[in-house]
Amino acid sequence: MPLSSLQTPSCATLSASIQKGRWKMLAAGFSVTLPLPAVHFSHRRSIRASASSSPSPSSSSSLGAGENNELDAVSAFSEIVPDTVVFDDFERFPPTAATVSSSLLLGICGLPDTVFRNAVDMALADSSCAGLETTESRLSCISNKAMVNVGGDLVKLVPGRVSTEVDARLAYDTNGIIRKVHDLLRLYNEIDVPHDRLLFKIPATWQGIEAARLLESEGIQTHITFVYSFAQAAAAAQAGASVIQIFVGRLRDWARNHSGDTEIETAIKSGEDPGLALVRRSYNYIHKYGYKSKLMAAAVRNKQDLFSLLGVDYVIAPLKVLQSLKDSPAIPDDEKYSFVRKLTPETATHYNFTNKELVKWDQLSMASAMGPASVELLSAGVEGYANQAKRVEELFGKIWPPPNV
């Protein structure tokens, strides 16, 4: 039986949990409806800088002559990353980069006819995993193989980098994270994926940031996620993380329902949105002090958020926001939205930081500086990702061995 034809009852059972192509997952402590399977794809237009570089300094000017709609206009300043799905929206928003995660693997098993299903089936039938003695090691091997097989397929589909999620159950284990990345990288080497096409997505715990520092020293590119405080962002920049991801909307949501976080309250007293303020401070810190990290603003909820962040390296935005931008003509000197780059390396040089912010961050200083928002949101994010990784292994445990093994 060809591997591509393998069908399993468990995947069919998972499919039954999908309603109208969407499913529920726990993200940062609350239920979020995501497209299935969810992948962040980077969408780059011809006027945008490449994924491996900052936007061109010439982008610091206002709206140019060749931009016909608002999406063209904002793409001149930042890399726009649609929060899109594997199988839809390619024509509207052509992907140039992607993320492979546990939730994606679950989604692929839920849709057995996808182009990525063979990548998962190949992992399930892999003889090197089948020969392992313990169930735990076998399921870990299959999960690693499935993640890399799908990542390898994505590398062939997009010209940019593919970010591979590192098991969040290792979020507080520096050596465990490093071993996992080395294991994944070895598998990528076996299918001839160049290192410069890969990122490894690691939670912004201190142990995760320390792992990023050590991995980056080996030339392995890292993507730090679940950043909700300046201390995390600055520590990740000092560690040399290639990409630092801040969740704008989630900080705003926390602030609406909680109090007692000094960093958030300081931003609000200054008339700033706490999520947008964190992106601005982090961007200015990175550029003023010459760190190599690229900054990604995620959980952007509306066009005003996006316009407020023009100039940040990457912006993840919902499809409804991007479609609205695409459908709206770019009007110079628009009274509602200003097509002017808000974040630039030049303005960063004039930003003033306190002595407390300019420390050499270590585990104690970062923990002391993180307020309740970042502690709670980081913990919830790690828990959500860990649950997804556990679900993948549980699913593989139910459907292994496949019929031909």
> What pLDDT digit, counting tens, does each position of 264-293 carry?
999 999 999 999 999 999 999 999 999 999
> What integer pLDDT is reported at residue 332 of this predicted model?
67
- The residue that leads in pLDDT, 26 or 59, is 59
Place of tokens 């959980």: 299
> pLDDT above 70 covers what percent of the chain?
78
How would residue 63 be classed by pLDDT, with cut points 50, 70 and 90? very low
- What residue has token string 């958030």? 264
For residue 353, which of 233, 250, 209 has the smallest C-alpha distance? 233
Cis peptide bond upstream of 159, omega within 30: no
Query: In the prediction, which pLDDT does 337 show?
Result: 61
DSSP state of 93: S
Average pLDDT over residues 150-175: 95
pLDDT of amino acid 346: 96
pLDDT of 33 reads 30
Classify 348 as helix, strand or coil: helix
Q: What is the pLDDT of residue 31?
A: 26
| 8 A C-beta contact, residue 269 and residue 330 | no
Residue type, 329: P
Identify the CA nearest to 160 among candidates 199, 118, 197: 197
The Cα 131–Cα 128 span in angstroms is 6
Beta strand segments in 299-338, E: 314-318
Task: Evaluate if residue 392 carries a pLDDT over 60.
Answer: yes
What is the β-pairing status of strands 22-27 and 38-40?
unpaired
DSSP 263: H
By CB atoms closer than 10 A (0-12, 13-18, 19+), residue 401 is exposed
* Catalytically annotated residue among 201, 294, 303, 342: 201
- Using CA atoms, how far residue 261 sits from 109, 304, 357, 373, in Å, is 41, 24, 16, 6
Tell me, what's the pLDDT at 115?
A: 82
Q: What's the pLDDT band for 84 if we cut at 50, 70, 90?
A: low
Instruction: Name which residue leads in pLDDT, 328 or 279.
Output: 279
Active site (annotated) includes residue 336: no
Host H or E run for residue 398:
helix 372-399
Q: Any idea which of 55-64, 144-153, 296-305, 361-370 has the lowest mean pLDDT?
A: 55-64
Least trusted range by pLDDT, from 107-116, 192-201, 364-373: 107-116
DSSP 273: -
Residue-level pLDDT at 297: 96
Whole-angstrom distance, CA of residue 149 vs CA of residue 154: 9
Q: Is residue 212 pLDDT above 90, yes or no?
A: yes
The pLDDT of residue 219 is above 90: yes
pTM of the complete model: 0.84
In the chain, the amino acid numbered 311 is G
Mean pLDDT over 109-132 rounds to 89
